[in-house]
Structure 1
Amino acid sequence: MSYAIIGFGNLGKALAKAFARKGIEVSVATTRDPESFASDAAAIGPTVIPAKLADAVKADIVFLAVRFESHPDVAKVLPSWQGKTIVDVTNAYGVPPDKLGGQPSSRFIAQAFAGARLVKGFNHLIAATLGQDPAVQGGARAVFLASDDDAAVAEIATLAERLGFSPIKLGGLSEGGLLVQARGNSWGHLVFKDLVKFDR
């Protein structure tokens, strides 16, 4: 299984830290030349590999950590995303719901990535928190996952556990997914909630 993070701003770097902490190789890419952010990648760890966008999108699981309005630029890199799982880490705060056809932002994004399975996740925490070790006082920091594809959400839940997080499945994109998505100028109820799960 191969992994990539598209977008290497604060959220992308936070995700890269999670992979590096566990020694899991992950490609990172932006629309820029990889040499322009190679030193930032190296500072996080040797398993964080700078890549060209065209190469990074070959990964099996792709974390979309770009600005919401930039997702079409990533989507058009491949004619088909069949067989891939996209983890939507974007936040469409400030985007009028009518521009999304009244849909949740993740379902809108899913339409751009033809053939892919899409999971909303890892977006509810600010980057500074997401980048911290998810082991907290004997528990594990929660990440919320929503998808209309049960197999895809199970796959990302397994990965989240490998990264040290405690995945909590919220159901479909139009139900539980709304709890972790922005709608116009308001945030879903679970956005910014930093929760820790303890096994009992």
Structure 2
Amino acid sequence: MTYAIIGFGKIGQALAHAFARRNIDVTVASRRPPEALAPQARAIGPTVVARSLQDALEADTIFLAIPFWEHRELAKALPSWKGKTIVDVTNTFGVSPEELDGLPSSAFLAKAFPGARLVKGFNHLVAPILATDPVVEGGHRVVFLSSDDEDAVAPVAALAKQLGFAPVTLGKLAEGGALVHARGRIWGPLIFQDLFKKEQ
């Protein structure tokens, strides 16, 4: 399984720290050329490698850590997204429900990526917390996952565990997923909840 993070702002870098901490290879890319990202990528860790956007899109699992509306331009980068898993890390605070056709933001986003398997996740923690070690005092920081494709959730949950998080599956995007979505100017009730799951 290969991984890429698209977007290398605060959230993209926080995710890169999570991969580096567990020595898991990940490609990072953005609209900027890879040589512009390379110094920061190297500073995070040797398993974090800056590549071109087109190279990053060859990964099996792609984390979207970009401003929400940029997904439409990114979606044009591949003729088909079949076989790809997209982890939607975006948030849409301030985007009206009308702009999203009344859909949860991830369901709206998914329409732009035909053939992809979409999982909403890793979006409820602010960057400074997401960047820190999720194993704290014998507990694991929780990440929430939701998807309309049940088969897509399991490998993302397994990766979350590998990264040291405790994945909690919330069900479909319109049900449990709504708990971590912004709607208009209202955050979902689980956004910014820094929860821990204790070791059994």
TM (norm. structure 2) is 0.99
How many residues are matched?
Answer: 200
Give the whole-Å Cα distance in 2 for the aligned partners of 1:61 and 1:85: 5
**What is residue 111 of structure 1 aligned with on the other side?**
111
Q: State the 1:69 CA deviation.
A: 1.2
Distance 1:141 1:172 in 2: 22
Instruction: State the match for 2:83 in structure 1.
Output: 83
After TM superposition, give the deviation of residue 199 of structure 1 in Å: 2.7
Q: What TM-score results when the alignment is normalised by the length of structure 1?
A: 0.99
Matches within 5 A, 1:1-200: 1-200=1-200
Aligned-pair CA distance for 1:167: 0.1
Letter in 2 for 1:129: I
C-alpha separation between the residues in 1 aligned to 2:21 and 2:139?
17
The residue identity in structure 1 corresponding to 2:158 is T
Match of 1:168, SS state, is strand
Q: Give the CA deviation at 1:73.
A: 1.4
Deviations 1:146-184 (A, max 9, x none): 001111111100000000000000000000000001001
Moved over 4 A (4+): none
Structure 1 residue runs without a partner (length 5+): none
Deviation at 1:32, TM superposition (A): 1.1
Deviation of 1:192 after TM superposition, in Å, equals 0.1
One-letter identity of the residue aligned with 1:168: V
- Separation in 2 of the partners of 1:10 and 1:88? 15
Q: RMSD of the TM alignment (CA)?
A: 0.6
d(CA) in 1 for partners of 2:90, 2:74: 13
Deviation sequence 1:48-91 (CA, Å, 0-9, x none): 01010011011000000000011111111001100010000000
